[in-house]
């Protein structure tokens, strides 16, 4: 069994919870209240800056040009078309420029983002790829599932969000990251890799939970 197979099997409960979260299910059915998606999108807009920071560090620490090039392409996809989607979505969802420009991180978003930034700064290339494998692999799984089930919610933003997390966009990257981890000798760092994988997966579930249940406020807000 490969490293990624072992990790996904060990934490299959969390992985499935992420992929089949009520937020995802309702988004696919088109029944997710727009207010919940807006809440999620505002936090994701804040969160993306930390994902970009970690990915940029992965490029700087890449062991070869091919690895750096793959991650550069991924980063370019975040900074260009996805950013345009954010702006179009905010218009549809009724979020003003002032609202999304001044959005601040919730406790969950702050903790998850700090984890990414710290991994990017303190971790090595394999550490960062482990975390990215979770963040992009879980999204690929739920996106692939909804597309394979021919889910086409009436909300065009929901449709587009599903589409950019399907196999046409993410499969190649996730497969490459998995192959990298599985072909690298991680025997001396398995406990660290396990911790990073588990922590990233926990945060992904918490991110959905916070958006779905509105458990995002600081105690004095």
pTM for this structure?
0.95
Residue 81 carries which DSSP code?
I
Q: Spell out the domains of the chain, with CATH numbers in brackets.
A: 3-213 (1.20.910.10)
Query: What number of other Cβ atoms are within 10 A of residue 110's Cβ?
Result: 16
**Alpha-carbon gap, residue 16 to 43, rounded angstroms:** 22
Is pLDDT above 70 for 28?
yes
Residue with tokens 């065009």: 156
* 118's tokens: 């710290």
Query: What number of other Cβ atoms are within 10 A of residue 171's Cβ?
Result: 15
Using DSSP's 3-state secondary structure scheme, residue 35 falls into helix
Q: In 3D, which of 86, 113, 114, 112 has the Cα closest to residue 101? A: 86
Residues 138 and 18: beta-carbon distance below 8 Å: yes
Q: Who wins on pLDDT, 87 or 64?
A: 64
pLDDT, one tens digit per residue, over 119-171 is: 999 999 999 999 999 999 999 999 999 999 999 999 999 999 999 999 999 99
**Alpha-carbon gap, residue 23 to 133, rounded angstroms:** 21
């Amino acid at each position: 069994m490969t490293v990624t197979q072992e990790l996904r099997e060990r934490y299959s409960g969390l992985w499935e919870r992420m992929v089949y979260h009520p937020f995802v299910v309702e988004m696919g059915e088109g029944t997710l209240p727009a207010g919940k998606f807006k809440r999620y999108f505002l936090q994701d807009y804040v969160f993306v800056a930390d994902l970009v920071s970690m990915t940029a560090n992965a490029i700087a620490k890449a062991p070869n040009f091919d690895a750096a090039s793959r991650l550069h392409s991924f980063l370019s996809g975040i900074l260009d078309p996805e950013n345009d989607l954010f702006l179009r979505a905010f218009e549809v969802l009724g979020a003003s420029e002032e609202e999304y420009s001044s959005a601040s991180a919730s406790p969950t978003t702050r903790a998850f983002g700090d984890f990414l930034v710290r991994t990017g700064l303190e971790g090595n290339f394999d550490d960062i790829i482990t975390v990215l494998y979770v963040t992009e692999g879980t999204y690929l799984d739920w996106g692939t599932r909804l597309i394979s089930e021919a889910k086409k919610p009436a909300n065009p933003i929901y449709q587009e969000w599903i589409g950019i997390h399907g196999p046409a966009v993410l499969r190649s990257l996730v497969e490459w990251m998995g192959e990298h981890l599985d072909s690298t000798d991680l025997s001396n760092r398995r406990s660290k890799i396990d911790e990073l994988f588990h922590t990233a997966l926990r945060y992904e579930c918490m991110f959905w939970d916070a958006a779905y249940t509105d458990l995002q406020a600081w105690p004095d807000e």
